[in-house]
Structure 1
């Protein structure tokens, strides 16, 4: 009975140690994964938005000179259905909205001229990036001048929640894989303990009893 009790205690302690170590490792991996994916996807999202803004800026320049709002609207429509985009706005040199993806119902925060007036064109930066809030939702706002601001500006809003949802999905999948790995490792550890450790100990204890009994 003592042999079985000792063996069971050993199994329990080793299994508890494995599970505790696995949980700690899982927590560390999940934290690092979350941070890595969050930073990486935010950078990727902003890069994607920048590519969209640059493409629109290049196409819009000639149409702004020609004063072709229909053509500008068509350009914007080509990008409006991307899931990561919250809005696209084009304004002229006087900061009047020429076209947008809101159908004319542009939120007041996006109508403020200060954004364009305070743009440091002398720095020759291709764009400015800021995080703003639209209807309670965080948005990465990319502002890019058209022909150094002489023809107007392009603004592309990117949903911050788009990154959060993708990060959560990635962490969930990785978490499931880690949990499955932990369960498999626990089963293997139990088998090793039973066959390679516990059984020889049982045999030694039994042999010791036999010797003590003469």
Structure 2
């Protein structure tokens, strides 16, 4: 015998499942858009810092003024998610940094020819800082004097995306719960006339044909009620004819 599931529960379940699936799809689409938007915004901010430093560091690099470069770097380290600022000369040597000379080995460059002569950025793992960064290079005088190197923590974008996903999923959960309650109540209103028609159909099958079937829902269920009432009348007439024929035979 197959299991019985009320239409009320089926409608509510379908609503909940569809809302959850829709919420996950929306979260994925929005998170991807947010990730791209904030990544581009973060890198653009890094480029702005790099350009400002590049316009003010040319003479300091040529004169190998490490004190001046350190002061210049310190004044630009207050930007959120900025992990490091390095200044390379045209040969790739680090002449300025925010690590007091203790630059992590993973950030040191041995072959500057591998770096694009134009602005470039890539995701770089920095084990010493226990993080990954958008490693951005900005040339000073087209690289003839050197490069400004900016490290932007990728966790900034990741945190924003995670927070966005949490807000979306929480909103979907609240809407789903409230909507589920409403649909459950609405499903009950929909099921009531069906239960009524089912009971009346059982009564007809048991020969209870006197009570008229009346149901006003202004939809297909009302049409079904009218058809069932016509069936009741037909069965009632057929039974009367059968009784008359039997009485005549007697």
Aligned residue runs from structure 1 range 21-36, under 5 A: 21-36=18-33
Which residue among 16, 20, 25 is the counterpart of 2:17?
20
Aligned residues: 202
Query: 2-side partners of 1:193 and 1:107: how far apart?
Result: 64
1:134 aligns to 2:131 (yes or no): no
Instruction: For residues 160-191 of structure 1, give each alpha carbon's deviation from its aligned partner in whole angstroms, at most 9, with x where no partner exists.
Output: 22211221111111110011111111111112
Q: Provide the residue aligned with 2:244 in structure 1.
A: none
1:11 shift after superposition? 0.9
Aligned residue runs from structure 1 range 67-146, under 5 A: 67-114=64-111, 116-121=112-117, 125=118, 127-135=119-127, 137-146=131-140
Tell me which structure has the larger Cα radius of gyration: 2
Query: 2-side partners of 1:144 and 1:113: how far apart?
Result: 18
Query: Structure 1 segments of 4 or more deviating over 6 A?
Result: none
Q: Provide the residue aligned with 1:159 in structure 2.
A: 153
Question: RCO greater where, 1 or 2, for CA within 8 Å and sep 6 or more?
Answer: 1
Q: Provide the residue aligned with 2:197 in structure 1.
A: 204
1:93 shift after superposition? 3.3
Query: 2-side partners of 1:84 and 1:47: how far apart?
Result: 13
Query: 2-side partners of 1:94 and 1:37: how far apart?
Result: 38
When the two chains are superposed, the root-mean-square deviation of aligned CA atoms in Å is 2.3
Query: 1-side partners of 2:92 and 2:202: how far apart?
Result: 95
Instruction: For residues 129-165 of structure 1, give each alpha carbon's deviation from its aligned partner in whole angstroms, at most 9, with x where no partner exists.
Output: 1222211532211112111222211100111222112
Instruction: For residues 6-51 of structure 1, give each alpha carbon's deviation from its aligned partner in whole angstroms, at most 9, with x where no partner exists.
Output: 8x71111111111221222122222222222222222222112111
Instruction: For residues 32-72 of structure 1, give each alpha carbon's deviation from its aligned partner in whole angstroms, at most 9, with x where no partner exists.
Output: 22222222222222112111111111121243355543332
1:84 shift after superposition? 1.5
Aligned residue runs from structure 1 range 27-66, under 5 A: 27-65=24-62
SS of residue paired to 1:112: coil
Unaligned runs of 5+ in 2: 211-250
SS of residue paired to 2:6: helix
Query: 2-side partners of 1:22 and 1:77: how far apart?
Result: 50
Q: Which sits farther off after the overlay, 68-77 or 182-191?
A: 68-77
Q: Provide the residue aligned with 2:187 in structure 1.
A: 193
Unaligned runs of 5+ in 1: 1-5
Query: 2-side partners of 1:93 and 1:15: how far apart?
Result: 67
TM-score, normalization by structure 1: 0.82
Query: 2-side partners of 1:119 and 1:25: how far apart?
Result: 44
